[in-house]
């Protein structure tokens, strides 16, 4: 989620070059709360599936790659439906449009960056943490007796 916050702040900074109304106000903060939840959900999908694959006996790298591969499409579908869903906030007009534009820019840019970078970074971080934890390879004691060659 730090990547999502970075993307949101970068988007607000770039938009502020065009209009002074794009500032880090309460509407941007509300957008950050929404953004953190969505970005965390995407990371949880990958980590949960990778952990399941490791429990099935795969090493951390293979489990993370499999999780990223299998969860790539669902993550992109939810992320881009969210991103396209906030486009009306970006192009808002009328009363209260400035507030909606700030919130829209926050979640639009943050989710775009979090999705593009997070899909690559989360599996890499999962492997790094598993290696530091010492759980990179499946434990031999977890295999069934038939696989050990014992009666």
3-class SS at 147? helix
CB 15 within 8 A of CB 31: no
**Tokens 């977890």 belong to which residue?**
142
| Tens-place pLDDT, residues 27-81 | 899 999 999 999 999 999 999 999 999 999 999 999 999 999 999 999 999 999 9
| Residue 25: closest CA among 17, 38, 36, 16 | 16
* Spatial separation of the C-alpha atoms in residues 48 and 74, rounded to whole Å: 14
**Are the C-beta atoms of residues 117 and 3 closer than 8 Å to each other?**
yes
Residues 12-34: tens digit of each pLDDT: 899 888 888 788 889 899 999 99
Instruction: Judge whether 75 and 31 are in contact, CB under 8 Å.
Output: no
For residue 151, pLDDT over 50 is answered with no
pLDDT at 148 over 50: no
CATH class of segment(s) 2-16+25-132: mainly alpha
Question: pTM (2 decimals)?
Answer: 0.79
Report which of residues 92 and 67 the model is more confident about.
Answer: 67
Give the start-to-end residue ranges of the domains of the chain: 2-16+25-132
């Amino acid at each position: 989620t730090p990547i999502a916050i970075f993307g949101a702040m970068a988007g607000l900074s770039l938009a502020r070059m065009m209009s002074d109304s794009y500032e880090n106000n309460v509407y941007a903060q509300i957008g950050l709360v929404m953004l953190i939840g969505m970005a965390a959900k995407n990371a949880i999908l990958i980590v949960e599936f990778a952990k399941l694959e490791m429990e099935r006996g795969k090493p951390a790298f293979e489990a993370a790659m499999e999780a990223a591969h299998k969860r790539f499409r669902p993550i992109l579908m939810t992320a881009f439906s969210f991103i396209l869903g906030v486009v009306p906030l970006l192009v808002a007009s009328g009363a209260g449009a400035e507030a909606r534009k700030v919130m829209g820019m926050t979640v639009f840019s943050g989710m775009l960056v979090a999705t593009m970078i997070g899909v690559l970074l989360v599996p890499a971080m999962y492997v790094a943490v598993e290696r530091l934890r010492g759980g990179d390879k499946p434990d031999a004691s977890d295999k069934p007796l038939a696989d050990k060659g014992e009666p």
